[in-house]
Amino acid sequence: MKNVQAAISPLLIVLCLCGFGVFEYPQNQPKLYLSILYILISWLLHIYLIIETRIYCQTFKIDLDMSIETNIISGVLYMLLTFYYDKKFKDCLNRLTIVNETLEKLGTPKNYMKLRKQIIWLIIGWIVSIFFMNIISSLWFFIHMSRSQIVMAIYVSLIVNHSYHINVIYDFKYMTLLRYVGTQFEHVNQHIQKLTELKKRQVRHAWATSTSPLMNRHMAGAETSKRIICILM
C-alpha cells in the first residue's frame, strides 16, 4: 500500500455504502454526481421507512424512542459535513502520507499493513455488534408484538437501529485516524529525544576533551542533528 488512503480504503468504502462519502474509482477520481444520487435515494428511503415503521408500531401501542430522530439528524449532518470537507480530508491524508515517507527515511515504518488489519478487525467487530444488537431488538419487538410478527419484528429492529449503526462507523473513522496520527507523533518525539540525548553527549564529550578534532566532530554531529530536525519539522 502506497498511502494512508489506500490503507483505510475498506472503511471508506463501508462509509460510502452507508451514505457518508464520495465514491472514487479509480482512486482520486471521485464520482460526485453518482454519490449524490445514491445518498439522496438511500437517505430518503430510510426516512420514509422510519415514518412507516413508526406508524406500524403505533398499532401495537409501541412508541419509538426520540433518539431515532436524533440519530437521523446527526447522520444527515455528518453526511453534509463529509461532502463539504471531503477535499480537505483527502488533502490531510496526502499530507500524512508525506510525513510517513519522511519518517520512513529516519527508520520509522509506515505501518500501513497494521493499520489495514486494524480497520478490517474494526469492521468485523462492527458487523458482529450490529448482529447481536439487532437480535436483542428483534426479541424485544417480538415480545411486544403479536407472536406471528417475527418477520416484522426483525424488520423494525433493522430500520430503527440503522441510523445508530452508521453513525457509529462514522465515528470509528476519526477515532482510528487520530490513534494512528498519535502513534506517528510518538515516533517523532522519540526521534527528537534521541537527537537531544545525542547532542548532550556530544557537548559533554567536547567539554571533557577540549581538543580541536573532537570539536570539529561535535560541530559535524550538531549539523547532522539540525538537518534531521529540519526533516522532522
Task: Express as a percent the part of the chain with pLDDT over 70.
Answer: 82
CA atoms within 13 A on the CB side of 91: 4
pLDDT of res. 206: 67
The residue among 92 and 208 whose pLDDT is bigger is 92
CA distance 173 to 21: 12
Percentages helix, strand, coil for the chain (3-state, rounded to 5) are: 80, 0, 15
The residue among 127 and 215 whose pLDDT is bigger is 127
Total domain count for the chain?
A: 1
Radius of gyration in angstroms for the set of CA atoms belonging to the chain, rounded to a whole number: 26
CA nearest to 86, candidates 5, 22, 152, 161: 22
pLDDT of res. 147: 64
Contact 44, 64 (CB under 8 A): no
Q: How confident is the model at residue 216 (pLDDT cuts 50, 70, 90)?
A: very low
pLDDT above 60 (res 210): no
Contact 41, 17 (CB under 8 A): no
pLDDT above 70 (res 231): no
Q: How confident is the model at residue 187 (pLDDT cuts 50, 70, 90)?
A: confident
CA distance 54 to 37: 26
pLDDT of res. 132: 92
Q: State mean pLDDT over 216-220.
A: 46
- What φ, ψ does residue 24 adopt, rounded to 5°? -135, 125
pLDDT above 80 (res 222): no
Record the cell numbers describing residue 64, joined without a space.
Answer: 419509538
pLDDT above 70 (res 219): no
- Alpha helices, H only, 23-149: 32-58, 67-84, 86-105, 112-144
pLDDT of res. 131: 92
pLDDT of res. 125: 92
Q: How confident is the model at residue 218 (pLDDT cuts 50, 70, 90)?
A: very low
Q: State mean pLDDT over 158-178.
A: 85
pLDDT above 50 (res 212): no
- Using DSSP's 3-state secondary structure scheme, residue 149 falls into coil
The residue among 166 and 64 whose pLDDT is bigger is 166
CA nearest to 82, candidates 139, 137, 134, 43: 43
Among 79-83, 90-94, 166-170, the range scoring the smallest mean pLDDT is 79-83
CA distance 136 to 84: 36
In terms of residue numbers, what domain contains 156? 4-232
pLDDT above 50 (res 97): yes
